Amino acid sequence: MDNKLKPYCTIIGETIVTVVVFGDELADLYGYEMDAGDPFWYISGTDAWFEKQEVNGETFLVAKTYDKDYFSVPVDQKALDLLAVKNGILVLLPNAPLKAEDIKQTTDLEELREWMNTEIGEDEIEGVIYCFYTEEDKKKYHEQ
Lowest-pLDDT range, 35-39, 106-110, 116-120, 136-140? 136-140
Average pLDDT over residues 88-105: 95
AA letter at 15: T
Residue 10 has pLDDT above 80, yes or no: yes
Compute the mean pLDDT over every residue in the chain, rounded to the nearest whole number: 91
pLDDT of residue 1: 44
**Which pLDDT band holds residue 132 (cuts at 50, 70, 90)?**
very high
pTM for the full model?
Answer: 0.92
Distance CA(90)–CA(93), nearest Å, equals 10
Helix %, strand %, coil % of the chain (to 5)? 25, 35, 40
